[in-house]
Amino acid sequence: MAYRLELALASLVGMLLPHGVFAQTPVNPPLAARNWADLAKLPDWSGVWTPSRRQQEDETTKNPVPWTAKAAETMARMLADEKAGRPQSIFANCLPQGMPSWMLVTHSALEILFTPERVAMLGELNGSQLRRIYNDGRPHPQDPDLTFHGHSVGRWEKDALILDTVGILPQVYIATKETAGVPSNGNMEVLECIHLIGPDTLADDLEITAPAVLTGPWKTSRFFYR
């Protein structure tokens, strides 16, 4: 008898759902024609972008990270191990590099896709490299689910994409190379300005705030070539 009652209730719910009794407002409503037309106004970032490994290393040497004393001690030990022939890859666990390390030390190419009100970055190293940047005016969630790449929102200022990323897992590294970095330990925020500085050169200007391991914001830039 109980089974028949459950079956009847399930059938009733199934009948009601199509008529909108339990319908909710969609999180991402259908796009209007103007949304697609707006894409033609954006700069040309098509193609595949390859990072400059030498520029990554040179920039860190010229523009050192303002580590706290404890973080600086950890970095010195890791660099000493590498110099002694005992390098320790901080990404050997096969977890995503996450933000900001992906933009700081990646050795693989990436592709940038424009869709209405969103920009997606796809890394060619593995399927875990994916960033979604929402530029539809939405704010960050008040209590975001922490992820490796965090929650990114942005806006276009002329031909530059200005974005802000929060909600990054505390175990995600701030890395200066694949063998040296420390976890942010939480409350990290990454500001970026991504823009062309030539027909085939893309710059990412970053400002990283991580009060647990940095004494102040670290401003640095990375270049990618089409």
148-183 residue pLDDT tens: 999 999 999 999 999 999 999 999 999 999 999 999
4: pLDDT strictly greater than 80 = no
Q: With bands split at pLDDT 50, 70 and 90, how would you rate the model's confidence at 38?
A: confident
In a domain, 130, yes or no: yes
pLDDT of residue 23 exceeding 60, the answer is: no
pLDDT at 127: 60
Banded pLDDT at 186 (limits 50, 70, 90): very high
Parent domain of 217: 37-225
Residue 92 in any domain: the answer is: yes
Please say if the pLDDT value at position 6 is more than 60: no
In a domain, 18, yes or no: no
Mean pLDDT of the chain: 88
Q: Which residue has the higher pLDDT, 35 or 119?
A: 119
User: Is 5 part of any domain?
Assistant: no
- The encoded tokens of residue 212 equal 């647990």
Residue 16 has pLDDT above 90, yes or no: no
pLDDT for residue 35: 72
Distance of CA 179 to the CA centre of its chain: 20
**Residue-level pLDDT at 8:** 54
Identify the helix (H) or strand (E) that includes residue 210.
none
Residue 40 binned pLDDT confidence (cut-offs 50, 70, 90): confident
pLDDT of residue 181: 96
Which pLDDT score, from 0 to 100, does residue 5 have? 54
Indicate the SS3 state at residue 79.
Answer: helix
- Asked whether residue 81 is domain-assigned, the answer is yes
- CA dist., res. 218 & res. 210, Å (int): 9
Average pLDDT over residues 29-50: 82
Number of domains composing the chain: 1
Please check whether residue 20 lies inside any domain of the structure: no
In a domain? residue 2: no
Q: How far apart are CA 196 and CA 160, in angstroms?
A: 8
- Whether 144 is covered by a domain: the verdict is yes
Report the C-alpha gap between 43 and 38 in whole angstroms: 11
DSSP secondary structure letter of residue 33: H
* CA within 13 Å, CB half, 21: 7
Query: Does position 53 have pLDDT exceeding 70, yes or no?
Result: yes
